């Protein structure tokens, strides 16, 4: 049974300190105290707290020591054999916020909602806030089962539902940006000139054309090996294709369009990779060129800016405009479902706008 001690404070008021002791084998295994302004509050707290401590395993759980959210994040990152760079950066960023120093067992949905508000106060869009919460939810999901850290996944789920209802988080906006032939001509002329001036620079003309005709992401392009090419069947093995639940081992055979195969066959076999250039380098060179050429201006809204990934949108939309069925388009893009494929299908015309494109023969030499 707990005890209550009354003590006079300096301001003349009386404080009531409620104390609970638990012993096992004559030794104190748990001690806890809290001070209240009224005696009945102290009595009520003792009744409630002792009921909590009487639950099976409660003392053992409290005695094992508290882990913070930051501790759980560290264990999650260390335990993941593979983790995306963006996810790792987000989790590292979360550790700089006050919620990371809170004891895991004390974090409730209200704390997660408050954290989302902090993120939004930093001018982050609801889509970005949703990404932060989603990455953090993965830590909550595994913490108890993997490391016996008391993060309550139900509290996280409740917070996510609340954030959605309050419109504090939202899904990423689907991009509809596609390059025009005029924009692509400017880019190809720019990079063709650079190739002459700097012969050892990355062949961006080939990379741009291949991204369109193969519909491959920049990271996938950088990983394709000559050993992954099945020329007789005009297909390529795309290793570790992006998938929400499988970061490694998601190898998929994808059809190569005739144009994409021609570009592959034009590459020198000097290294194991067909395109031995990093995805970051491709993206950075493309972004710089778009700024230099005025395709992207300082005041251009983000949704209207042209980025390397838009070439994949262009390639997939082209397949549908040429009359390919969903299964045949998916055989090139590698998508497993129409729900994930349809966001790339931005049909604007009928036929192949690249028919007779002057740059194709040049990049295939």
Domain that holds residue 191: 181-363
Q: For 15-19, 59-63, 264-268, which range has the lowest pLDDT when averaged over its residues? A: 59-63
C-alpha 66/C-alpha 55 separation (Å) is: 18
pLDDT of residue 277 exceeding 70, the answer is yes
For residue 170, the SS3 value is: coil
Q: How many residues does the chain have?
A: 365
Classify residue 176: in a domain, yes or no.
no
Classify residue 173: in a domain, yes or no.
no
The pLDDT of residue 148: 87
Question: How does residue 241 score in pLDDT terms, banded at 50, 70 and 90?
Answer: confident
Classify residue 266: in a domain, yes or no.
yes
Q: Burial code of 307-329, b = ≥16 C-beta within 10 A, e = fewer?
A: bbebbbbbbbbbbbbbebeeeeb
pLDDT of residue 8 exceeding 60, the answer is yes
Tokens of 180: 């025009």
Residues 243 and 123 placed together within one structural domain of the fold = no
Residues 251 and 233 placed together within one structural domain of the fold = yes
Classify residue 174: in a domain, yes or no.
no
Query: Could you tell me which residue, 67 or 238, shows the higher pLDDT?
Result: 238
Q: What percent of the chain has pLDDT over 70?
A: 96
pLDDT of residue 1 exceeding 70, the answer is no
Nearest to 260 by CA among 209, 222, 308, 221: 209
pLDDT of residue 249 exceeding 80, the answer is no
Residues 251 and 118 placed together within one structural domain of the fold = no
For residue 6, the SS3 value is: strand
Tokens of 46: 């003792």
- Structural domain total, the chain: 3
pLDDT tens-digit series, residues 183-208: 999 999 999 999 999 999 999 999 99
Residues 310 and 231 placed together within one structural domain of the fold = yes
Full-model pTM: 0.68
Phi, psi at 229, each rounded to 5°: -90, 125
CB 282 within 8 A of CB 222: yes
Nearest to 19 by CA among 49, 62, 61, 55: 49
Q: What percent of the chain has pLDDT over 90?
A: 64
- For 324-354, the three-class secondary structure string (H helix, E strand, C coil) is CCHHHHHHHHCCCCHHHHHHHCCCCCCCCCC
The pLDDT of residue 247: 55
Query: Could you tell me which residue, 216 or 84, shows the higher pLDDT?
Result: 216
C-alpha 220/C-alpha 239 separation (Å) is: 7
Classify residue 175: in a domain, yes or no.
no
pLDDT tens-digit series, residues 130-160: 999 999 999 999 999 999 898 999 999 999 9
Classify residue 333: in a domain, yes or no.
yes
Classify residue 264: in a domain, yes or no.
yes
């Amino acid at each position: 049974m707990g005890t209550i001690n009354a003590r006079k404070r300096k301001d003349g008021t009386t404080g009531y300190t409620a104390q609970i002791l638990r012993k096992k084998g004559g030794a104190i295994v748990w001690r806890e105290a809290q001070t209240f302004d009224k005696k009945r509050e102290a009595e009520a707290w003792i009744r409630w707290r002792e009921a909590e401590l009487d639950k099976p395993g409660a003392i053992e759980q409290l005695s094992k020591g508290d882990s913070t959210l930051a501790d759980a994040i560290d264990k999650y990152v260390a335990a993941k054999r593979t983790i995306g760079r963006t996810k790792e950066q987000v989790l590292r960023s979360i550790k700089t916020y006050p919620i990371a120093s809170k004891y895991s067992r004390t974090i409730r949905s209200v704390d997660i909602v408050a954290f989302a508000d902090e993120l939004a106060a930093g001018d982050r869009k609801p889509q970005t806030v949703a990404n932060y919460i989603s990455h953090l939810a993965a830590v909550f999901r595994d913490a108890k089962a993997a490391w016996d850290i008391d993060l309550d996944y139900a509290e996280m789920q409740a917070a996510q539902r609340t954030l959605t209802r309050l419109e504090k988080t939202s899904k990423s906006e689907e991009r509809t940006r596609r390059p025009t032939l005029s924009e692509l001509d400017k880019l190809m002329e720019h990079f063709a000139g650079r190739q002459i001036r700097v012969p050892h620079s990355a062949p961006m003309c080939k990379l741009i054309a291949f991204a369109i005709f193969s519909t491959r992401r920049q990271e996938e392009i950088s990983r394709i090996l000559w050993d992954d090419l099945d020329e007789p069947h005009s297909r390529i093995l795309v290793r570790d294709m992006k998938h929400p639940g499988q970061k490694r081992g998601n190898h998929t055979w994808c059809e190569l369009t005739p144009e994409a195969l021609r570009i592959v066959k034009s590459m020198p076999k000097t290294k194991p990779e067909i395109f031995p250039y990093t995805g970051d380098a491709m993206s950075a060179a493309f972004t710089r060129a778009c700024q230099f050429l005025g395709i992207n201006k300082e005041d251009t809204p983000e949704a209207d800016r042209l980025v390397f990934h838009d070439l994949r949108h262009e390639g997939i939309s082209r397949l549908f405009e040429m009359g390919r069925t969903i299964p045949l388009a998916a055989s090139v893009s590698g998508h497993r479902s129409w729900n994930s494929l349809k966001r790339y299908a931005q049909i604007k015309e009928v036929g192949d706008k690249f028919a007779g494109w002057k740059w194709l023969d040049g990049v295939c030499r």
